[in-house]
Structure 1
C-alpha cells in the first residue's frame, strides 16, 4: 500500500518525496486578511496547510521536501522569506497544538482528582450511614448520587486524556516535521511554455 502512495510523488536525487504545490503568484500561498504583513509573518492559506498536512500524514515517516512551482520568477531574498515564514507558521501551529494538549491534560487531571475526592466523600458518607443504622431513602439517594458523580468525573477525566492525548501529540509532531522540511522553488512549466 505504501509503495502505491509513494508512486504518487516525485523523488529528489537523495530519495526524499516531493510535495508539489503549484501557484500562479507567491501571494496565492497566503491568507488574504493580512495583506500588509511581510511574507515571513503572514499566515499560510488554509487549503495549502491542509494539503501539505494531508500529504505528510499520507507518506508517514518517509523524508520529504515541499516544492513550490510558481509562475513568476522569484528573488533569493523572497524565497528565503517564504522559507522563514513557512517554518515560523508551522512552529506556531505546533505551539498552539502543544498549548491545547496541556489544557486538555489539565482538564483531565482536574476531572480525575475531583472524581477521586468525591468518591472518597461518597465512601465516607456510605460508611457513616451504615454505622448509624439510619438508612433512609433521601440518605441513600444522596450517597448513591455522590458515587455516580464520582465515577462519571473519573471516567470523563480518563476518557478525555486517553482519546485526545494521542491526536494532539500526533499533530504536534506533524507540524514539527513540516516546519523543518526543506522548501524548494522552481519556475512553473506553464510560465516556461508561455515564453516566446
Structure 2
C-alpha cells in the first residue's frame, strides 16, 4: 500500500489503522427517509456507507478499526445498536454480493457449457459430412462455430473480468461487517 495514503489515517494502540467518523448525534449515521423506524431497522446514511467502503478499499489488506466520535455522550444501548446496524447492513450487502457472485458463476458455466456443446456439434458435423460443396450447410456450420466461440468468450469473460471485482467487493463488505467499532465523545 502506498505510504502517503496510509498516513492519512491514525493508528490505535495496537497499531491498527483507524477510520474516524465524526457526527454530532447517532441519528446522523442513518438515512432520514424513515424518521420513525428504530435505528436497528433504518438504513445507514449513503455517504457514510460510501466513505467506509472507499476507506477500507484504500486500506487494502491493512488491519483497521472504525472510531465514531459524537458531540455528546451516548449510552451503551445506542453503542450496541450502532454496532448491530453496521454488522447487519454490511452483512446484508455481503449476502446480496454472494447472490451476484453465484449468478455470475452460474451464467458463466452455462455459457461455457453451451459453447463447448456447440463447438463439439460443429466439429462432429464438419467431420461427418462433406460441407465443402454445400454452401448453405457450410455457412450454417461456420455460424455454429462463431456462436460457439462467442458463447465460450462470454463465459470466460464472466469468470475472468466480472468475478474478480465482485470478490474484491465481497472482501470489503466482510471486513466492514466484522470490524471493531470504537465510540468516543468529542473533547
Secondary structure of the structure 2 residue equivalent to 1:84 = helix
1:106-160 residue CA offsets vs partner (Å, 9 max, x unmatched): 0000000111111112112222331xx6722211111100010001001110111
Aligned 8 A contact 1:111 1:157 in 2: yes
After TM superposition, the score normalised by the length of structure 2 is 0.93
Q: Which residue of 2 aligns with 1:40?
A: 40
Q: Which residue of 1 aligns with 2:146?
A: 148
* Rounded Cα–Cα distance in structure 2 between residues aligned with 1:171 and 1:35: 30
After TM superposition, the score normalised by the length of structure 1 is 0.89
Q: Which residue of 2 aligns with 1:117?
A: 117
Q: Which residue of 2 aligns with 1:167?
A: 165
Per-residue deviation, 1:30: 1.3
Runs of 4+ in structure 1 over 3 Å off = none
Aligned positions, number: 187
After TM superposition, the structure 1 = structure 2 runs for residues 3-152 of structure 1, keeping only pairs within 5 Å, are 3-130=3-130, 135-152=133-150
- Gapped runs of 5+ residues in structure 2? none
Once superposed, what is the RMSD of the aligned Cα atoms?
1.6
- Gapped runs of 5+ residues in structure 1? 190-196
My pick for the range that moved more, 72-81 or 140-149, is 72-81
Per-residue deviation, 1:14: 1.2
The structure that has the greater radius of gyration is: 1
